[in-house]
Structure 1
Amino acid sequence: MASSPRHFSAPLRALLLSPSLRKPPRIPLRTSLFSQPLMHKALAFSTQIRGVSGSRRVSWKTEASMSEAATEKGKRGAEVFDSEEDLSVSLAKYTADIADKFSKEKRSFTVVLSGGSLIKSLRKLAEPPYIDSVDWSSWHIFWADERVVPKDHDDSNYKLAFDGFLSKIPILPGNVYSINDALPAEGAADDYETCLKHLVTSGVISVSAATGLPKFDLMLLGMGPDGNVASLFPGHPLVKEKEKWVTFIKDSPKPPPERITFTFPVINASSHIALVVCGAGKAGPVHAAFQNSRNSSTVPVQMVAPEGELVWFLDKDAASKL
């Protein structure tokens, strides 16, 4: 099991000097419940959104075809599920397969979390068969955004992830990279970017050949009812930030006001992005996201366009306007 939150409260600059940043020894896996090793399986992509009901698949048409909604940078697809429970089962399989692929290729797996309901949807990874079959020693955990509050504060994305996921898996404490909450927002953002640069230099985080930006293996993102992703909100100047890897916001339209966030260039350098969205209250931005990105009513989620693969995990309520 993961260590308690107190192990992650030291400033990141102290963490940079810690031996824990060196690549950890590979820990023998416990016996897998699978008869065969996990294999990476990319979701199929077509000109339709696929709906999932148990083992039955149905097609969901959109006003704009998936080929129109596809980005130039990478593949885009969507899965629609009858329930959040079914979504969670599929998300666990998808995440575990990608983790297995990268762990075997480069002996590390870099995964970025966000807050909100996403953490609940990851719960199946902490259950059999994944708790026993995943190579947790290869995982390195980051946050797409964080509220600048103490780690034991109810608004903390770290606390949310720790309570709902990290405390339930055997993650190595040195592989969990939380922000230095002792710093003000600007300092915390700069400190986190420094940490990322160190991990790029040390080879833990890959580099995009196209942009030179950090290339995370998997970014797990949620979406707000206004179409925001991370802490990039509609109409806010940070949506257009192109220079910084990590920046800060002091006037968030949602409390708490002070946050740090990855910028879109870093988000879009990812190998894989899963956008996990549930609930009828988010159906409007989901619908907008599948329309032509030149539309004047662009919402931030429409700007998610990774170099690699983008897959939407939607429950039927979130997909109700497609």
Structure 2
Amino acid sequence: MVHTAPTAPVLCTFPNDQELQAALAHFIVKAQKESIEKKGRFTVAISGGSLPKQLAGLIDNPAVKWDKWQVFYADERVVPLDHEDSNHHLNTRELFSKVPIPRQNIHTIDPSLADDLEELADAYEKELIREFAMKDSARFPIFDLVLLGIGPDGHTCSLFPGHALLSEEDRWVAYIEDSPKPPPRRVTLTLPVLNHAARIAFVVTGESKADVLHTILDEPEKGLPASRVRPVYPGHIYWFTDEAAAAKVQYPRTPFKL
């Protein structure tokens, strides 16, 4: 296997949520346009947390071609889809209920398999295989865009510091039943999947993330999970942050041009 070097992160900071959301929407629409022109569809993986609220710039945006989107979840909590802890519920409340995306274009876990996490993870992996392997013939799925956040401990998706899942090299989707953050039972995309994406965009806001963002970007050798998300060439990784979150970061900023 030929290993290629990861690309360096691009850090873009904004003075407030309004400007960040506008830039993020512009970035997503541009990625969408390139993907649809290339292959007729736009494949996206999305997480939960505070991220969905930052996607407000996509609502009522005429440039978004919702019928071309195929949406997966970067991770999901093993709860009913209408549960407050569900990433699908959160994204539906904040975004999908407000836009005309076809329901069949949003790929959720199957909660009926909740009693067997391995079967549930396998079923979700097969959902990805139907979308990617049949069309792209890739060792790992190549998402056009993965949208992520981070936790105060540096976790992303459901990949936590010191956890064995950080060493997973083969699976596309893995399960965790001992998450240090509740709820404990989850499924998650693995690092190889994240690192084969065409684009990764982290969205991080607030003073509470200042210390961990400094560690992730300025001290990647500490190996926090989010530091390990480094797409291999020709993939790209971007950080969209506000000034409060980036206050302690020494990593160079890149001006964002609309």
Q: Deviations over 1:75-112 (max 9, x none)?
A: 42110111122111110110011001111111100011
Whole-Å separation in 1 of the counterparts to 2:174 and 2:218: 28
Give the CA deviation at 1:122: 0.3
In structure 2, what is the equivalent of residue 108 of structure 1? 41
Give the 3 Å change call, closer, same or farther, for CA 207–269 of structure 1 in structure 2: farther
In structure 2, what is the equivalent of residue 53 of structure 1? none
1:283 partner SS = helix
Q: Is the CA contact 2:133–2:141 (under 8 Å) kept in the aligned structure 1?
A: no
Q: Is the CA contact 1:112–1:216 (under 8 Å) kept in the aligned structure 2?
A: yes
In structure 2, what is the equivalent of residue 80 of structure 1? 13
Q: Which runs of 5+ in 1 are unaligned?
A: 1-70
Give the 3 Å change call, closer, same or farther, for CA 228–304 of structure 1 in structure 2: same
Q: Please show how residues 1-322 of structure 1 align to structure 2 within 5 Å.
A: 72-127=5-60, 130=61, 132-184=62-114, 185-203=117-135, 206=136, 208=138, 212-294=139-221, 297-307=222-232, 308-322=235-249
Q: Is the CA contact 1:207–1:215 (under 8 Å) kept in the aligned structure 2?
A: no
Letter in 1 for 2:217: F
Whole-Å separation in 2 of the counterparts to 1:168 and 1:188: 29
Identity %: 41
Whole-Å separation in 1 of the counterparts to 2:106 and 2:134: 16
Say which structure, 1 or 2, has more relative contact order (CA 8 Å, 6+ apart). 2
Letter in 2 for 1:243: D
Letter in 1 for 2:23: S
Q: Is the CA contact 1:288–1:298 (under 8 Å) kept in the aligned structure 2?
A: no
Q: Which runs of 5+ in 2 are unaligned?
A: 250-258
Whole-Å separation in 2 of the counterparts to 1:176 and 1:228: 24
How many correspondences in the alignment? 242
2:104 partner SS = helix
Q: Deviations over 1:24-82 (max 9, x none)?
A: xxxxxxxxxxxxxxxxxxxxxxxxxxxxxxxxxxxxxxxxxxxxxxx932242110111
Give the CA deviation at 1:240: 1.2
2:11 partner SS = strand
In structure 2, what is the equivalent of residue 67 of structure 1? none
TM-score by length of 2: 0.90
Letter in 2 for 1:262: L
1:182 partner SS = helix
Give the CA deviation at 1:201: 3.3
TM-score by length of 1: 0.73
Q: Is the CA contact 1:103–1:135 (under 8 Å) kept in the aligned structure 2?
A: no
In structure 2, what is the equivalent of residue 17 of structure 1? none
